[in-house]
Amino acid sequence: MPNHPLSLDLMFQALADPARRNMVERLARGPASVSELARPLDMSLPAVMQHLAMLEAGGIVTSEKVGRVRTCQIRPEALSLAEQWINQRRVQWERRLDRLDAFLAAEQNEETK
């Protein structure tokens, strides 16, 4: 993705993995400890920590350690960058499809005359 900030690239890379998307979906309901996030996943705690590190590098998640418990939470404002990029692509394609529709309608009108 040339001409886009590194943070957008890291965000999409972080969201590319199903386990990380699962964690994001869980965190969308509220903060959770690492052990809570690991519970439904079939992987070791160190593997979960690596996935969380990737989500943090992408700016999607923050974590805080209090005592022996690391609690993670989603950064909803960070996802707005990806949302804006996707919406810009959607708008472009909608315009293109609208132009194609108008062109095809005009062609059909010409053929019926």
Express each pLDDT in 7-30 by its tens digit: 889 999 999 999 999 999 999 999
Residue of 17, 11, 104 lying closest to 61 (CA atoms)? 11
The two beta strands, 69-74 and 32-33, are antiparallel
Express each pLDDT in 60-79 by its tens digit: 999 999 999 999 999 988 88
Q: What is the arithmetic mean of pLDDT over 31-38?
A: 95
> What is each CA distance from 112 to 98, 105, 107, in whole angstroms?
21, 11, 9
Burial 81-95 (b: 16+ CB within 10 A, else e): bbeebeeeeeeeeee
The pLDDT value recorded for residue 30 is 95
Domains of the chain are 6-112 (1.10.10.10)
The pLDDT value recorded for residue 1 is 40
Give the three-state DSSP class for 55.
helix
